[in-house]
Structure 1
Amino acid sequence: MGILGEAGPRFRLPGDDFEARDTVSGPPPAWAAPTASGPLAARLSLPGSKSLTNRELVLASLADGESILRAPLHSRDTTLMIAALRELGIAIDELEGTDTGYGPDLRITPAELGGGVSIDCGLAGTLMRFLPPLASLGLGPITFDGDEGARRRPMRTTIESLRALGVEVGDDARGTLPFTVYGMGRVAGGELAIDASASSQFVSGLLLSAARFENGLTLRHTGETLPSLPHIAMTIDVLARRGVAVENPEPGVWVVPAGPIAGRVVDIEPDLSNAAPFLVAAVVAGGSVTIAGWPAETTQVGDDLRELLTRFGAETTLTDGSLRVDGGTGVAFGRSMPGVHLDLSTGGELAPALVALAALADSPSRITGIGHLRGHETDRLAALAAELNALGGAVTELPDGLAIDPRPLTADPDRPWQSYEDHRMATAGAIIGLAVPGLLVDDIATTSKTLPQFTELWRTLLGDAGSGGIPISGTGATA
């Protein structure tokens, strides 16, 4: 049996030891973020996309036949998704001999969906928004819960959507986790209007299961804004590749016909959003960073980095399936870098890395279109402002973003950079640490949510061009 056997995961995510140790010896040790000592010259390969892996796991579970996912991501978010689908009766097996370093390929065999189970969502938005519509096709009660932070994430749209489709959902009027979906084995479908202003995942979650509704689904978004549209485009694309043609007759309206979902063999692309801190590092430290396996065409929003980083003075080149970013002499070593005005309404998940970079610029920046980040793993706008200001920065929250007025940043040995249990806050701290000596990150292990190998890859990135990166106390922070 491989790393995701029926007895539970045998591989260790970076946070596993810390979680077990919390009840014995307190929080995990702080991590000393390496400071760049020279230009970079790194070439990296990254694990698979979390967004694609979890979408394909859901569709494979609803398909008419077997599917195989090649090079899927193995992280906390995907491990929880796999465990949840198994609880519902789906067979998910590893294929021996397929592990190239980031985990084996997976075979998914659909089955009748059961009930009478509890689903641990962790802090995974894809799980808590994608699985309740699928669970409504099962038989029996299915309870969803997660981490303490997950209980603060908005879920009312999912809950009310299912009720509007005739599915009973019990949440004691909270509009958040925990809640229970009482599946009846069928959903009529039809027409549905929702406000998905808080997250595009509300739309994607419904679209992924809609072909299995008896009458399909005509879904209309009623809110004034809809963030992260590329993620909906990704959902439509993976559905199309399985034979489900989603029509988009006008902005904010999607029509999914009832019909079969095909099993297929899927090659999962590397996670381009997880490439952000590594590519930004080239701009901070100078030199170059190359990410292998970069697709020529993709629906991943991380591909926007090719253009966005040029706004910060970097050069980007995509050739032969690799993306190279050249940062010149590097901001940390005196290269001038003006501030920017960015609208990241389509790519908010890139904001923490780009805000960290903007904090090192020579002039003010405004990054907008990211008000919805207040409802992510943490309130990312408040968190970024608090952590940069604690270092001496001048970051102000806007209604829809952040204003960054660069100031000299200085680490406080008595106050680590707080990750807020948010993987992108942790990696933002690592970026700042490249230019700010002595910076500590309180819980780098939270990167296990989507990239368990982060610290190992960060060390590889720096090679001989950095120092630090070890736990201040204890062991395991860089495992």
Structure 2
Amino acid sequence: MTTATAPLWPAPLATGPLDAVVAVPGSKSLSNRYLVLAALADSPSLLRSVLASRDTHLMASALETLGVTVDRGTDWRVEPGAQRGLRGSVTIDCGLAGTVMRFLPAVAALADGPVHFTGDVEALARPMGPVIRALQALGVRVDEEGETGRLPFTVHGRGFVRGGQVDIDASASSQFVSGLLLAAARFERGLVVRHTGPTLPSLPHIEMTVAVLRAAGVQVDDSRPAIWEVAPGRIAGRDVRVEPDLSNAAPFLCAAMVTGGTVSVPGWPAQTTQPGGLLPGFLERMGARTSLDGDVLSVTGTGAIHGVDLDLHAAGEIAPTLAALAVLADSPTRLRGVAHLRGHETDRLAALAAEITRLGGQAEQTSDGLVITPRPLTGGAWRTYADHRMATAGALIGLRVPGLEVEDVATTAKTIPDFVGLWTAMLGS
């Protein structure tokens, strides 16, 4: 977590309505899925517009550790390691990247020796039990070396995984399902994954995984609810362009509502599996006007921000941004369906409630979300808890609240390499 000695960034105060175009970098979720599939493919891949952030560099470095070649130029060229065998007797640093710690254990099971997984201090608190139990059920030896169901642990690869079928409770994160599906075509018998938990958050992320698998020639049957069947077979190398990260676009688009102006993001896809694609509809309910002209999405603030009741189970990653917007609304907001946010980079529900309250606002935790009641706010330090979305939420509130200082804004490098530069350019400063 961040500390009292972390640097404070004075969040810029908006001086008037915005009229800005912000080019958002590529999707982290898609970038890391493409990287995993490229590493397991039967031919090289060219990945264009990859997000070059801490999370994607952690993924690339982890794959290189396993023997994959990743040339990180303007476009990223990936020479797969699966054909000559993935390398074991190595250590993977997951940092704080959920996609690395949850996507790569199944890949590591295909390596020719033990693969040790570790990460940042904050990562040691993130749940990992479902993927560990699933691999063990598939006959893969996994030694847990810390708290049960947490990093660090070691996957003992044998060069192959028999596959078959496995039950998993992915209530804490859809990444547990995606991590198994991404490697499943390389298992000897493929894999049937059945989700057994009471809820399944961020289903669009699993749909994203299924879509990228099919685009790479993998046969996936998702016709039954909460069951996915991946047939064994080849994974094709691809030449693919990564969509802009629509969730990372959220704070910039929401800035239009806070200032009463217009912010436009080019490259917005007409159809997408990204959860951030749901954002325009949410913002319209909160009082914005949105329009899609070709591939340019524009959001215009009307001068009002309305409180709403939103079920965000399919788009939990934009909850911190919408919570920041709700603090500035004209009536209370309830955010529901996001209990799984307690297991992200930090407990996001507790963190948001603490920081909103610190500024004089009112935010109450519920079993699966937050209730936010707008109150006059004062400036002060906004702690980020090493969480990039906490940092961008603080910047958004700071557009209207004088004297707000975001602690450790550099944590945004996890998914937005130059957030401060993009933010100040949007404001024209």
TM-score (normalizing by structure 2): 0.97
Q: 1:406 maps to which residue?
A: 374
- Quote the residue 1:469 is aligned against: none
Deviations 1:123-171 (A, max 9, x none): 0000000000000000111000000110000000111111001000000
The residue matched to 2:246 in structure 1 has which SS?
Answer: coil
Counterpart residue number, 1:108: 78
Q: Secondary structure at the match of 1:184?
A: coil
What does 1:49-448 align with in structure 2 at a 5 Å threshold? 49-95=27-73, 104-111=74-81, 112-172=85-145, 174-328=148-302, 335-412=303-380, 416-448=381-413
For 1:109, give the aligned amino acid: E
Residue 27 of structure 1 and its aligned partner are, at CA, apart by 3.5
Secondary structure of 1:244's counterpart equals: coil
Q: Which of these residues, 10, 15, 40, is aligned with residue 37 of structure 1? A: 15
In structure 2, the residue corresponding to 1:139 is in which secondary structure? coil
The 8 Å contact of residues 305 and 329 in structure 2, kept in 1 or not, is answered as yes
SS at match of 1:290: strand
- Residues of 2 paired with 1:249 and 1:360: CA distance? 42
Note the alpha carbon deviations across 1:22-49, whole angstroms, 9 max, x for none. 9xxx934210000111000000111110
Displacement of 1:285 in angstroms is: 0.8
Moved more, 423-432 or 104-113: 104-113
Deviation of residue 336 (structure 1)? 3.4
**How far off is 1:435 after superposition?**
0.7
User: Alpha-carbon deviation of 1:243?
Assistant: 0.5
Task: Return the letter of the residue paired with 2:80.
Answer: P
Query: 1:301: how far off?
Result: 0.9
Aligned residues: 424
TM-fit CA distance, 1:286? 1.2
Once the two structures are superposed, residues 207-263 of structure 1 have per-residue CA deviations (whole angstroms, 9 ceiling, x without a partner) of 000000000001100001000000000000000100012101311000000000001
SS of residue in 2 equivalent to 1:198: coil
Q: Cα RMSD over matched residues? A: 1.2
Q: Following superposition, which runs of at least 4 residues in structure 1 exceed 4 angstroms of deviation?
A: none
Cα distance in 2 for partners of 1:380, 1:29 equals 21
Q: For residue 337 of structure 1, report the CA deviation from its aligned partner.
A: 2.7
Looking at structure 2, the residues matched to 305 and 378 of structure 1 have their Cα atoms a distance apart, in angstroms, of 23
What is the CA-CA distance between 1:174 and the residue it aligns to?
A: 1.7
Contact 2:257 2:305 in 1 (8 A): no
Looking at structure 2, the residues matched to 336 and 447 of structure 1 have their Cα atoms a distance apart, in angstroms, of: 28
Question: How far apart are residue 54 of structure 1 and its match?
Answer: 0.3
Distance 1:336 1:190 in 2: 54
Structure 1: stretches of 5+ with no match in the other structure: 1-18, 96-103, 329-334, 465-479
Among the aligned pairs, what percent are the same residue?
A: 59
SS in 1 for 2:350: helix
2:35, 2:60 within 8 Å by CA — same for their partners in 1?
yes
* Letter of the structure 2 residue corresponding to residue 166 of structure 1: G
How many angstroms apart in 1 are the aligned matches of 2:412 and 2:351?
16
Matched, 1:453 2:418: yes
In 1: Cα distance, 2:48 partner to 2:141 partner: 36
